[in-house]
Amino acid sequence: MTKRYSGEEIAARPTIRLKGGSALVQRLVRAEDDPGNEQVRNWLCAIDDERLLSFGLAPDDIALLRARRS
């Protein structure tokens, strides 16, 4: 349990380390039911690999994005 500012206790969310290294990719893949994140994932998947690599994503990140899309 962790404490919030108001003193309420909330359950700590377990941290699951996916294979990709990018924190952005981790958050996008973890938030499966969020329409906004789904839109960002779809936008990123539509970009070619060379461009995604120039954005700083690793090949593992790109593969994770594309695998979770389906």
What pLDDT band is residue 6 in, cutting at 50, 70 and 90? low
Strand residue runs (E) in the chain: 2-3, 9-10
Note the pLDDT tens digit of each residue in 10-49.
554 444 444 557 888 888 888 878 899 889 988 999 999 9
C-alpha count within 13 angstroms, C-beta hemisphere, residue 3: 3
pLDDT at 16: 43
Domain chopping of the chain, boundaries = 19-69
Q: How far are the Cα atoms of 1, 33, 38, 54 from residue 64, in angstroms, in the given order?
A: 30, 17, 14, 17
